Structure 1
Amino acid sequence: MLAVAAAGYRAIAPDSRGYGLSDQPPEPEKATFDELADDLLGILDFLNIPKAFFVGKDFGVIPAYDFAVKHPDRVCGVVTLGFPYFPVMISFDPLPEGLYIKRWQEPGRAEADFGRLDAKTVVRNVYILFSESEIPIAEEGREIMDLVDPSAPLPPWFTEDDLQIYAALYEKSGFRFPLQIPYR
């Protein structure tokens, strides 16, 4: 973001609805990715931006792709990290049962797993788990949060100050919506 801005471009990093400082949707369980793509259009329109270059990471690639398909005249380009383009949603059925994606799709399971810990510890654990080279898969009888050694250090690129900021945001918003989109 800083490099883009320093190069003379406008760099905007919106919180997706239900994340960070944005409001929670009134009915998170009814939320869709289409709404997130509509939010991007609303941001461009509000800021009078005719065309933009989009960068999406992880689940953020889905609204970026959807927006580009729905509004090609408003897109200069799209860069995505972590998830390739699929014209239809893929099935996670063939993936291992202990994979975090499958676990977090089950209503109540992640809530129970996360609920054993404070928001700061959940955020800490997620950043530690997802900075490793292996995808987190829990064996039978264990949950995803059990996969983190409490003495494990934060990744070198994620500071204690970063952790404090993100934890405060999740203390405000909770995990209800983040578990709906993208997992459910």
Structure 2
Amino acid sequence: MIIVANAGFRAITFDFRGYGLSTIHWSQKKANFNDLVVDIVALLDSLAIDKAFLLGKNFGAILAFMVAIIHPERVLGIITLGMPFRLPGPLGLQFNLLPKGSYVLRWAEPGRAEAGFGRFDAKTIIRNIYILFSGSELPIAGDDEEIMDLVDSSTPLPPWFTEEDLDVYATLYQNSGLHCKFPTGVGNGIMV
């Protein structure tokens, strides 16, 4: 976002409800992607932004696509990170295109991510996620494995993610809790 701001754009990052420093309580049973789309539009409204470029990372990319589909008049363009290309078509997550054992399929199962994460403290979970997802290959768990089991504890953090970064993220997740049922959204932004 610093690079975007230095290029002359107004760069805005935010925490979705229940994540980071947000004050809105996340309820897995009540909130859904549509609620988060409403939140994005409300953020634009509150900042008097008519149209924006949306930057969505990972599951946030799905939200950026949804805002563009539901509110095309509010979107100048979309940038996505960490989301595989999909052919245009009806709105849907198209899980059948993902390999068996992928984190998206595993963590979409109600309670599975939380059960897997429950074995670790927040700092270990965040460390494992940044190690797993900084490589070029999609982590795929076997039938008798969980995604978190794929991390070798001796693997160092990626060079661009420091121990200080890890401490900040871990503290935020200790405060809000870890919820990986859809939707998730840390790492999303708006550029105006």
Equivalent-residue separation in structure 2 for 1:91 and 1:79 (angstroms): 20
**1:131 equivalenced with 2:128 (yes/no):** no
- Sort the Cα spacing of 1:73 and 1:92 in 2 relative to 1 into closer, same or farther, 3 A: closer
Q: What RMSD over aligned residues (CA atoms) do the two structures have, in Å? A: 1.9
Q: Secondary structure at the match of 2:126?
A: helix
How high is the TM-score relative to the length of structure 1?
0.88
Equivalent-residue separation in structure 2 for 1:26 and 1:128 (angstroms): 26
Contact conserved, 1:53 with 1:76, CA < 8 A, in 2? yes
2:145 aligned residue (120, 142, 146): 142
Equivalent-residue separation in structure 1 for 2:53 and 2:183 (angstroms): 23
**1:79 equivalenced with 2:79 (yes/no):** yes
Partner of 1:119: 122
Residue deviations 1:46-97 (CA, integer Å, cap 9, x gap): 1111221111111111111111122222222111223336532133246444
Moved more, 116-125 or 60-69: 60-69
Moved more, 82-91 or 161-170: 82-91
Partner of 1:36: 36
- Sort the Cα spacing of 1:26 and 1:136 in 2 relative to 1 into closer, same or farther, 3 A: closer
Deviation at 1:37, TM superposition (A): 1.2
Identify, as 1 or 2, the structure richer in helix: 1
Counterpart of 2:170, as a letter, is A
Ranges of 4+ aligned residues in structure 1 off by more than 6 Å: none
Moved more, 100-109 or 122-131: 100-109
Contact conserved, 1:125 with 1:145, CA < 8 A, in 2? yes
Moved more, 161-170 or 4-13: 4-13
Equivalent-residue separation in structure 1 for 2:7 and 2:94 (angstroms): 40
Deviation at 1:24, TM superposition (A): 4.6
Structure 1 residues 13-32: aligned runs within 5 Å: 13-25=13-25, 27-32=27-32
Equivalent-residue separation in structure 2 for 1:25 and 1:168 (angstroms): 17
- Sort the Cα spacing of 1:10 and 1:101 in 2 relative to 1 into closer, same or farther, 3 A: same
Partner of 2:189: none
Residue ranges of structure 2 left out of the alignment (5+ in a row)? 185-192
Moved more, 61-70 or 80-89: 80-89
Deviation at 1:106, TM superposition (A): 2.2
Partner of 1:164: 167
Residue ranges of structure 1 left out of the alignment (5+ in a row)? none
How high is the TM-score relative to the length of structure 2?
0.85
**1:53 equivalenced with 2:53 (yes/no):** yes
Equivalent-residue separation in structure 1 for 2:42 and 2:160 (angstroms): 32
Deviation at 1:154, TM superposition (A): 0.4
| Count, aligned residues | 181
Contact conserved, 1:5 with 1:11, CA < 8 A, in 2? yes
Counterpart of 1:72, as a letter, is P
